[in-house]
Amino acid sequence: MNVVQSAFCRKQEIFLVSFQIFLKLETLQPTGSFKHRGSCNAIRSLSSDELKDGVCTSSAGNFGQGLADNARTLNVPCTVIVPDSAPQTKLDGLTKYGADICKVRSSS
């Protein structure tokens, strides 16, 4: 899977006091979000029998993109159910990662 270890350490010194800063840069994940790691964990917890028909999620964007990217890595079909009000940029991302998109009418 394409998960980036995002811990980063940088030594700093201010007023002769030395300390370390640790940043968790989730924007370095392939889809730019921490949701990629969660979807990786979810898909890896499934057996090959459970994966044979593909995976499906309801998401307006980031989790769907992460799941689609991880499913593509495993050659598993992925369907993402999105509200018809989902931003085009999110839909483009889902398409980029190979998701089949199913739009549903948003409730008012």
Q: What is the pTM of this model?
A: 0.73
- Three-state DSSP class for residue 4: coil
98: left (phi over 0), alpha (psi -120 to 50) or beta: left
Reported as a single tens digit per residue, the pLDDT across 3-47 is: 555 555 555 666 666 677 776 776 777 676 777 778 888 899 999
What DSSP character marks residue 99? Answer: P
Q: Find tokens 């369907």 and name the residue.
A: 79
For residues 83-106, average pLDDT: 93
C-alpha span between 76 and 51 (Å, rounded): 7
Q: How far is CA 100 from the centre of its chain?
A: 15
Q: Could you tell me whether strands 78-83 and 55-58 are parallel, antiparallel, or unpaired per DSSP bridges?
A: parallel
Domains of the chain: 7-104 (3.40.50.1100)
Reported as a single tens digit per residue, the pLDDT across 96-106 is: 999 999 999 98
What DSSP character marks residue 59? Answer: -
Residue type for 23, please? L
Residue 61 and residue 83 in contact, taking contact as beta carbons nearer than 8 Å: no
